Amino acid sequence: MSENSSSIRTICVYCGSQPGRSAAFVEAGRQLGASIAAHGLRLVYGGGTKGIMGAVASGVLSSGGQVTGIIPEFLVDMEATRHSLGQLDELVITENMHERKHMMFERADAFVTLPGGIGTLEEIVEIMTWAQLGRHEKPMVFANIEGFWNPMLDLIDHMRDQGFIHRAHLVRPMVIDRVEDIVPAILDRAAERDAPTGEEAIISRL
Ligand code: AMP
């Protein structure tokens, strides 16, 4: 399936509002942004212009791509500067966190999680929860930069080993180390999901 015929149009990125200790994290944010733009896709994200969030957005913008930032009013001065928010080509200011998260989910066709803190963790865990409950089948990726997510992945394995991950077939986040592999993997996963089943394929050939 070519990129243009993919059902993937918009990628949501969750990541830290801080830069983290390793320079590789900010670099990965920038590179992911550039890759999203190079594939002709839109970024939707939490609107922050600092830390890794800022790196992803500027990676997209400096490669000529499109960015939607969704941020609650009370966070504008904490996680962004009004000047840099003006550079996004779409800005949505929500009343609260709940509205922001819901809108990010609705607008996105896939989710990528770069290194981040408690806010980042909360967001990707909620998306995995909704997948487990069958509310969506949007591709999910842990961008495992320098093994950042290994402790989280170990925890998920531990939960599975102990019999607490039910309907595991619905929760299949991809774990990808190299940033340049992320967008192609999302496009492949969506193509696999959207491929006609055996019977539909026969009917479509009739
Ligand atoms: P952090 O990973 O803590 O730097 O946060 C990354 C992003 O997640 C920031 O834009 C935060 O505003 C957002 N965030 C923080 N706490 C929450 C929460 N409880 N639910 C959803 N998003 C959050």
* 47-103 pLDDT, tens digit each: 999 999 999 999 999 999 999 999 999 998 888 777 888 889 899 999 999 999 999
In a domain, residue 39? The reply is yes
Tell me, what CATH number does 38's domain have?
Answer: 3.40.50.450
Query: Looking at the whole model, is its pTM more than 0.95?
Result: no
Q: How many Å lie between the centroid of ligand 1 and the Cα of residue 98?
A: 11
Number of domains in the chain: 1
Beta-carbon contacts of 51 under 8 Å, excluding residues fewer than 6 positions away, are: 15, 16, 17, 18, 19, 20, 26
What pLDDT is recorded for position 3?
45
> How confident is the model over 140-184, as pLDDT tens digits?
999 999 999 999 999 999 999 999 988 878 888 999 999 999 999
Residue ranges making up the domain that contains 69? 10-205
User: In this structure, what token pair is assigned to residue 74?
Assistant: 């009370």
Q: How many Å lie between the centroid of ligand 1 and the Cα of residue 39?
A: 27
Question: Which residues have CB under 6 Å of ligand 1?
Answer: 16-18, 46, 48, 75, 79, 97, 101, 116-120, 122-123
Q: Give the Cα separation of 35 and 130 in Å (integer).
A: 27
CA neighbor of 71 nearest in space, from 89, 52, 49: 49
In a domain, residue 1? The reply is no
In a domain, residue 5? The reply is no
What pLDDT is recorded for position 62?
96
In a domain, residue 85? The reply is yes
In a domain, residue 193? The reply is yes
DSSP secondary structure letter of residue 87: T
User: In this structure, what token pair is assigned to residue 51?
Assistant: 């830390």
Nearest CA to ligand 1 atom 16: 119
In a domain, residue 38? The reply is yes
Q: Are 90 and 69 in contact (CB under 8 A)?
A: yes
In a domain, residue 2? The reply is no
User: In this structure, what token pair is assigned to residue 135?
Assistant: 């509310």
Q: Are 9 and 3 in contact (CB under 8 A)?
A: no
The 10 Å Cβ neighbour count of residue 41 is 23
Q: Which of 26, 118, 127 has most ligand 1 atoms within 8 Å of its beta carbon, as the pocket-test mutant? A: 118
Q: Are 95 and 73 in contact (CB under 8 A)?
A: yes
Q: Are 173 and 138 in contact (CB under 8 A)?
A: no
In a domain, residue 84? The reply is yes
User: In this structure, what token pair is assigned to residue 173?
Assistant: 């986040």
Beta-carbon contacts of 186 under 8 Å, excluding residues fewer than 6 positions away, are: 8, 11, 110, 112, 139, 141, 174
The 10 Å Cβ neighbour count of residue 98 is 10
Q: How many Å lie between the centroid of ligand 1 and the Cα of residue 185?
A: 25
